[in-house]
Amino acid sequence: MSHRNARTTFHGRLLIVRRYQAGWPKAHIAKAMGVSRKCVHTWISRFETEGEDGLHDRSSRPHTSPTRVRPSVENQIVAWRKRHRCGPDEIAAKLGICPRTVSRVLNR
């Protein structure tokens, strides 16, 4: 299943590769498929390095979440909340972190 904005599906990408293997110039493939030459080049390169698996959609999710609160900090926030029954502003002041961060953790 392609994502919403994809111009090609897995089968279209496979067709791009098959046409290239049959000797079609990249510019002709691009025109026939209604995509750019760069797009054709991208799918051919991915096929050459990864095989058919490279023609499937990849996740657009980031590999890491740099702003995510460390589990140790989350545990401290939750522990303060249970022990002292105080709000996000007070917990943030005690732990030296942003009140909004404390609110986000407590709302999970």
Query: What is the C-alpha to C-alpha distance for residues 19 and 34, in angstroms, rounded to an integer?
Result: 14
pLDDT digits (tens, 9 = 90+) for 46-104: 999 999 999 998 888 888 877 788 899 999 999 999 998 888 999 999 999 999 999 99
Share of the chain above pLDDT 90, in %: 68
Query: What is the C-alpha to C-alpha distance for residues 27 and 107, in angstroms, rounded to an integer?
Result: 53
**Which pTM was predicted?**
0.58
**Amino acid sitting at position 96:** G
The per-residue DSSP string of 54-82 comes to GGSPPP-S-S--TTPPPHHHHHHHHHHHH
Query: What is the C-alpha to C-alpha distance for residues 72 and 79, in angstroms, rounded to an integer?
Result: 11
User: Taking a C-beta distance cutoff of 8 angstroms, is the pair 19, 27 a contact?
Assistant: no
